[in-house]
Amino acid sequence: LCLTGSGGAANESDFRGWFMRVTPDGKTIPTGYGIRSPGGIGLNHLGDVFYCDNQGLWNGSSSLKHLRPGGFQGNPTGNKYFALTDVLGPKPPDPKNGSRIEIERSKVPDLVPPPVVLPHGKMGNSPAGIECDETGGKFGPFSSQLFVSEQTHSKVHRVFLEKINGFYQGAAFPFLKGFGSGNIVARFAADGSMFTGGTNRGWGSHGKNPFSFQRVNWTGKVPFEVHEMRAKSDGFELTFTQPADVPSLADIASYAMEA
């Protein structure tokens, strides 16, 4: 359970900006802190929990984040609630605005770097629901990867993750666009098809319908896409969904990058 801690209004409810575990008998357990504005929550194929935080206070761009028990997600507005619990130890120092993640991690070891940052305005503005492809290949070649709904741009993104030294990192890829409304959630059916649900209420969306409920079926054709992108000490290692032309792969002119 993620409680928004965007800093708006009075934020008088206890534990705003924290994430909680809820036991079967209804007991809530403070589990981590630093959340800004969660758009969706979901699991990967290993059972680890992720959520999407939206651009704004202490979040220069939206991102997919890993909810590690005891982890700090970067927004200190809810740190005052350390006064209400000793489950996570004493209140940590607030991070310094304008600093770097690794510098602040040296001061606040609980700080969890976001595995994937979604460039604002390019990968969308409002990432929401998270769904893992556990269809066993019924939806194409992306088994165990995550799919992230995007409300403002009416899209679905695909995310590859790897775990390095105990922390997740990865890359996000545009997957599908042109949905009828702003996607909030996606779910896979037993036959491997993806259902999406959306609304343009509130922020509005590129898809102009007030709401949508759509189905995506794999055609059976494997698209030529970057399947995995890994960061290495000397660059990036790319894996494709299909065999690629070796001379083209070796030609630096085949690639473009912008920041």
Query: What pTM was estimated for this model as a whole?
Result: 0.93
Give residue 124's pLDDT: 79
CB 105 within 8 A of CB 113: yes
Rounded to whole angstroms, the Cα distance separating 108 from 73 reads 11
Q: Is residue 185 part of a domain?
A: yes
Q: Is residue 138 part of a domain?
A: yes
Residue ranges of the chain whose pLDDT lies below 50: none
Q: Is residue 43 part of a domain?
A: yes
Q: Is residue 257 part of a domain?
A: no
State the distance between the two ends of the chain, measured CA to CA, in whole angstroms: 34
Q: Is residue 67 part of a domain?
A: yes
Q: What is the mean pLDDT of the chain?
A: 94
Give residue 10's pLDDT: 59
pLDDT, tens only, 56-97: 989 999 999 999 999 999 999 999 999 999 999 999 999 998
Rounded to whole angstroms, the Cα distance separating 143 from 134 reads 6
**How many domains does the chain fold into?**
1
Expressed as residue numbers, the domain containing 152 is: 18-216
How many other CB atoms are there within 10 angstroms of residue 21's CB atom? Answer: 14
Which of 8, 105, 107 minimizes the C-alpha distance to 54? Answer: 8
Q: Is residue 186 part of a domain?
A: yes
Give residue 8's pLDDT: 54
Q: Is residue 250 part of a domain?
A: no
Give residue 194's pLDDT: 99
Rounded to whole angstroms, the Cα distance separating 159 from 146 reads 5
Q: Is residue 129 part of a domain?
A: yes
